[in-house]
Every structure is written in C-alpha cells, then in structure tokens.
Amino acid sequence: MMESVLELLGPELYYGALTPALKIAVLLFVGILPVITYLVLAERKILGYIQVRLGPNRVGPWGLLQPIADVMKLLVKEDVIPNRAIRWAFILAPCLVVGPAFVIFAVIPVGPPAAEPGGLDLFITDVNVGLLFIVAMATIAVYGLIIGGWSSNSKFSLLGGLRSAAQMISYEVPQGFALVAALLLAGSMSMVGIVEAQKAAGVWFVFPQFLGFFIYFVAGVAESNRNPFDLPEAESELVAGYHTEYSGMRFALFFLGEYANMIVISAVAVTLYFGGWYRPFPNVEALSFLDFPFLPAGLVAVFWFAVKVFAFLFVYIWFRGTFPRYRFDQLMDLGWKWMIPLALLNIFLTALFKLVL
C-alpha cells in the first residue's frame, strides 16, 4: 500500500511531507499525549503507594480510566480569564509552554534509523545540530511561564513567574554545559550520532560522564519545575505559582507542558547518557536475548527506549515523594555556586581526557 501512495505522491512529497506528518501524528496521539495522561495516573498511583495508600482506583479497574475522566473534566470546565488579565498574553502563555516541549520530540530518536534507504526511520528528523536545537527550544518554555505569571495580574502569579524565570535561566547554564561535555565525548551534535557513538565506544556515557549526567539531571528536574525544585508553583507558598489564575483547558496545557518537559528531559538523558534505544551492553553477545530476536527490531528499540525513559520518570516521582522543597535563594545558590563550576570542571576534565587519548 505504501508503495502505491509513494507512486501517487512522488518521492518528494512522500518523504518530505507525508511520512513526517504521519510520524508526528503517531508520536503525538499514540505516543506523547496518552503517555502524559497515564503518567499522571502513574504518578498518583506511585505516590499513593509510597504514602501507604492506594491512589486513584474508582474510575475503571484500578483507576485506569481516571486520566480520561480527568481530561474530560478539564475540557468541559469553565475557562476563566480574570478581568484585569492581559488577554492576549494570558492566552498565549500556555501555548508557549506546551509548543516547544512537543517540538523537541522531533529530534529525539526513539529507534534506529532505517536499515536500508527508503525504510522507516524511528524518529521524525535527525538534525545535525540536534542538541543545539533542544537547548534552544527548551529555552522558549520559560517565556510561557513568565508571560503566564505576569499576564494574570495577580501577585502570587507574578512571584511564581519571577521565580520560574530566575530558576530556569540559571539552570539552563549548567544543563547546557553538561551537554557540552557529552558532546565532546561523542563528537557529534546529532542525537542519532551520539547514540551510535555510545555503541561504538561500548559504554554508556553515564560512566565516563557521571558528573555531567548528575548535573544534567538535577538541572533537568529544576528545568521541569519538579520537586525538590518546584518553587514556581510551590503550593504551600504561592498557592499555585504562575498558573494560579488559570483554569480549565489552559491550566491543562500548563500541566501538559510540565509533564511533556519531564519526558523530554528523561528522553534526552536516555539518548545522551544511557545508550538511547539500544539494549544494555549492546556489544556483549551473551546478552543478545535481550534483543528479543523474535520481535521486529524497531519494536524492541522503542521498548528499550521506553523502559529507560520510564525509569527516569519513576525517579522523578520518587523524588517528589521524598524531598522537601528548596528555598529560592538556596536554589540560586546551588545553581550558580555548585552546578556551574562543577559543569565547567566537567567540561575541562572531558576535554583533557579527549586530548590525552
């Protein structure tokens, strides 16, 4: 069937427009959105289990339909725009949070590139400056938070917006530095290239780059405003931070953005430090049963990628269940006095290492 479509459209249109569009649709509606909704359920369940209770279990068996009910509720809820809010900005802000988070998925490879030309690449596109693209896109999200906090014209929102601005800007720096070190090691900015470099090296980059990974992940938690760095929306302090005044679908978009960000951070961490879609120890023949030879290779790749990402997401939730929240100045302190010097040191060491080799 695909051949007939290819013939019908011609290769240019087929490869240039249809396949990416299809992939985007599949990724968005089969991949990210359900994953996010169920991630919320998983978070509530895991938090519940950590807190010796059961979590949601009323809607459907084991609460499995809870996310659908939640989405329905958020969709039909009244969408309130405060009187004094700056309307255009108020409406724009949630889109600015969600958009970039989704765009980043374009360059994240969930599986290997096509084995033969014309086959199916398990990513939307492989940009040769993929890492740069990710950093650039992640930066845009902060505008959403600031604009959201400011345009609500509420004091708590404003404080939340200010906090998020300061926090995201100061943690982007160490995050970028940590990525630089991984990039030095891989010698490529393409996400696929980095994964392949790990396979070629025979080792996940988390081992030579442990410090870098640590900095990246901590900064990532801060970037996605998650506990213990959830200051912009600290419930007990700022009511709900920058989205205090949001309700209904607009609030859902902020919500979506936060969870999409979590997945992005995890996915990038997996790609950069944990060998992407490859099974653990891809060069050790003895473990080849982990490739599940009886299954299609693409599926296995996606499986391993997903497993790794979910491990990260679990850690996120685990953190949320365990840690108290930092204070604003302590957060800055940690970012500027510890993370950035350590990240610089990491780059220096990595460069030295490269040089000596």
Say how far apart CA 234 and CA 294 lie, in whole Å: 48
- In the list 328, 344, 351, 353, the residue contacting other proteins (rule: CB under 8 A) is 328
DSSP string, 321-350: HH--PPPHHHHHHIIIIIIHHHHHHHHHHH
Query: Of 339, 189, 347, 343, which Cα lies nearest the Cα of 271?
Result: 189
What's the CA gap between 286 and 290, in Å, rounded?
A: 9
Build a one-symbol-per-residue string for 233-252: x at contacts with other proteins by CB under 8 A, - elsewhere.
Answer: -xxxxxx-------------
Q: Supply the minimum distance, in Å, between the C-beta of residue 330 and other proteins.
A: 5
Measured from the CB atom, the residue of 45 and 250 that comes closer to other proteins is 45
What is d(CA 206, CA 211) in angstroms, rounded to the nearest whole number?
Answer: 8
Min separation Cβ 120 and other proteins, Å: 38
Stretch that binds other proteins, among 64-72, 99-107, 171-179, 226-234 (CB under 8 A): 226-234
Give me the least distance between CB of 238 and other proteins, in Å please: 8
Q: Work out the angle between the directed axes of helices 191-201 and 130-151 (0-180°, nearest 10).
A: 130
Nearer of residues 53 and 355 to other proteins, judged by Cβ: 53
Residue 153 binds to other proteins (criterion: CB under 8 A):
yes
Stretch 86-125: interaction string toward other proteins, x if CB under 8 A: ----------------------------------------
Tell me whether residue 85 or residue 107 sits nearer to other proteins (CB atom): 85
Q: Of 259, 206, 234, 257, which Cα lies nearest the Cα of 38?
A: 259
Distance CA 240, CA 263 (A): 22
The residue within the footprint of other proteins, chosen from 7, 16, 115, 155 (CB under 8 A), is: 155
Interface pick for other proteins out of 46, 142, 165, 347 (rule CB under 8 A): 46
As measured in angstroms, the least distance from the Cβ of 142 to other proteins is: 18
Is the omega angle on the peptide bond into residue 20 within 30 degrees of 0, that is, cis? no
With binding defined as CB under 8 A, does residue 128 bind other proteins? no
**What's 85's DSSP letter?**
S
Q: Are 32 and 261 in contact (CB under 8 A)?
A: no
Binding site for other proteins (CB under 8 A): 46-54, 57-58, 84, 153, 155-156, 158-159, 162-163, 227-228, 230-231, 234-239, 318-330
